[in-house]
Amino acid sequence: MFSRIAYQLHSETNDLYGLLDRLKKQGHSIIDLISGNINQLGYEFPQEYLEEILVQASRQSRVYRPDSFGQKPAREAVSEYYRGRGFCVDSDNILLTPGTSMSYWYCSKLLADEGDEILCPQPSYPLFDYIALLSGVRLVPYRLDEANDWAIDIQCLEADISTRTRAIVLISPHNPTGHIASSDEICRLADIAFRHDLAIVSDEVFSEFLLQPTVLPSPVGSTAPLVFILNGFSKMFALPGMKFGWMALSGKEDRVRQAMRSLELISDTFLPVNEVVQAAAPEIFRKGESVCKDFARRIRECWGIAEEYVDSIDCCSYSKPGGGFYVTLKLNGIDEESAAKKFLNENRILIHPGYFYDMKPDHLVLSFVQKPEMIRYTLSALRKTLSGF
């Protein structure tokens, strides 16, 4: 009765989450030290701003006049956002989506036929496997070099290119390592894309959360023949429920034009972005600038506290993240799954083993976006648990 894909989407619960389910059924409260939902961690767009913006937006959008690309004022607001950061992306080359996950799916359907390949960094976020499965494309991992602070292994990446490769995914800041691709890395990546005629899909959802004052390097304006910049409100303004994202295209004029023509039809098939949210977008950008800066400041403070505790754990090492709100710990002589299960069982705190992200053994991944007292409590507990090994 069901498709081949439907059966592939089912998987057995792993041991860690089996333990988590049992503890929850026993009535235990669990601290989630891996969640990316920053709303649940006290980061919220000011309610007084949001209510006022949404009321006005609902009035503006009371008559339904859809635009396949997204409403022009919302796209112009995205374009203005990039101008403020020194990049030129015309509003006519921006497509609105209900979030980055859908943007990835659009890119897959636009760029690749079934069985074609897209290069994706390893380690990587598990979501991509499901998007690739639903799109019928094959993900080919390229290596991030842990010994070099998780920098892109350019030689490895180019060796992974085949006649079926269609695009390269760049995630910067990277989830979960926090690596920020340098200008040199992006230049070399663009050169490879140019020589092999490949698109670059650049995921920049953590772009506002840099742990040092710097400008995020971007492939916009590079030599790559076609670049897709993906971002949205979910992380930037702590508005995941708004479901507002975008794809900003740059590159060779004929490639951009052809891509936008095809994306128009793909988007018109679904018209998935809420009209009220689109009407609200320009004002969210305007009032959200200071909100976003406050979020970034708080996250830097969280890392400052977490770093002190991570530095004091003798049995692990790590590369300092450049952005985002995750850190990856490399364990010395400790099995990652045993550590994660012991930590959950003893402290009721969830942390992820590295194999969830296709890392080589043995690593732990955690989020440091918590209230200061919670950071101190959880990381003190982690230090104690690991010392027990």
The answer to whether domain 12-44+289-387 and domain 47-287 are alike in fold is no
CA distances from 272 to 195, 267, 268, 338 (A): 35, 7, 8, 43
At 262, the pLDDT band (50, 70, 90 cuts) reads very high
DSSP 30: -
Q: Tell me the percentage of the chain whose pLDDT exceeds 70.
A: 100
Contacts of 208 (CB under 8 A, 6+ apart): 235, 236, 292, 295, 296
Residue ranges of domains in the chain = 12-44+289-387, 47-287
3-state SS of 321-350 is CCECCEEEEEECCCCHHHHHHHHHHHHCEE
Q: What is the dihedral of CA 254, 222, 247, 300, to 10 degrees?
A: -170
Given a cut of 80, is residue 320 above it in pLDDT? yes
Given a cut of 90, is residue 258 above it in pLDDT? yes
Given a cut of 90, is residue 126 above it in pLDDT? no
Given a cut of 80, is residue 12 above it in pLDDT? no
Given a cut of 80, is residue 316 above it in pLDDT? yes
> Tell me: the pLDDT tens digits for 107-123?
999 999 999 999 999 99
Residues 350, 182: Cα–Cα separation, whole Å:
32
Global pTM? Answer: 0.96
Given a cut of 80, is residue 56 above it in pLDDT? yes
- Please give the mean pLDDT across all residues of the chain: 96
In 3D space, the residue among 249, 171, 159, 170 whose CA is nearest the CA of residue 196 turns out to be 159
pLDDT at residue 201 in the model: 98
For residue 28, how many other CB atoms are within 10 A of its CB? Answer: 12
Average the pLDDT over 13-18 and give the result: 94
At 36, the pLDDT band (50, 70, 90 cuts) reads confident
201 close to 316: Cβ distance less than 8 angstroms: no
CATH classification code of 12-44+289-387: 3.90.1150.10
Given a cut of 90, is residue 339 above it in pLDDT? yes
Average the pLDDT over 146-164 and give the result: 97
Q: Tell me the percentage of the chain whose pLDDT exceeds 90.
A: 92
pLDDT at residue 7 in the model: 84
Given a cut of 90, is residue 136 above it in pLDDT? yes
> Tell me: the pLDDT tens digits for 195-223?
999 999 999 999 999 998 788 999 999 99
Given a cut of 80, is residue 172 above it in pLDDT? yes
Residues 368, 75: Cα–Cα separation, whole Å:
33
Average the pLDDT over 269-296 and give the result: 96
pLDDT at residue 1 in the model: 84
Residues 107, 168: Cα–Cα separation, whole Å:
11
Considering the four listed CATH numbers 3.20.20.450, 3.40.50.1700, 2.60.40.10, 3.40.640.10, the one that applies to the domain covering 47-287 is 3.40.640.10
Residues 350, 364: Cα–Cα separation, whole Å:
11
Q: pLDDT higher for 308 or 13?
A: 308
pLDDT at residue 6 in the model: 86
At 254, the pLDDT band (50, 70, 90 cuts) reads very high
pLDDT at residue 366 in the model: 97
> Tell me: the pLDDT tens digits for 37-49?
889 888 999 999 9
Given a cut of 90, is residue 128 above it in pLDDT? no
Given a cut of 80, is residue 11 above it in pLDDT? no
